[in-house]
Homo-oligomer: A and B are copies of this chain.
């Protein structure tokens, strides 16, 4: 069969693929920091970030806000509670639900990691000018819908 009969996919120009490369590269670079410094996985950090912003939510709500599945959240929480970074209580009116918030130790880590994450964000997107950043925001907005 002649090659000319085929239409190979130009992976290197394929948008979903390029998006995933860029995204993974950036995420991993950021994660590398707190993974080694705080023995904190990316999923754990995401959970902590949500709890920093929305204290006293349930595990389900954490899952929703992180776009992670509930199994991942359950495991991240188990580790975070065990290491004393998150406090888990039971909801007064619904004993199935947990009520989650950062402990003092959790806040300490949060307050070190959050500015670093923001600094990384700034650094990565510094190659873009203001106009490009604005477009990127707008584009991500549309793609998420």
Contact = CB atoms under 8 A, between A and B. Distances in A.
Q: How large is the interface on A (under 10, 10 to 19, 20 to 34, 35 or more residues)?
A: 35 or more
Contacts of A75: none
Instruction: Decide if the interface of chain A is mainly helix, strand, loop or mixed.
Output: helix
A12 B127 contact: no
A70 B132 CA distance: 34
B140 A19 contact: yes
Given A16-B30, A21-B67, A132-B139, 6 more contacts: A3-B55, A7-B115, A9-B114, A11-B53, A19-B19, A135-B136
Interface of A: 1, 3, 6-12, 14-24, 26-27, 30, 46, 49-50, 52-53, 55, 65-67, 104, 107, 110-111, 114-115, 117-118, 120-121, 124-125, 127-128, 132, 135-140, 142-145
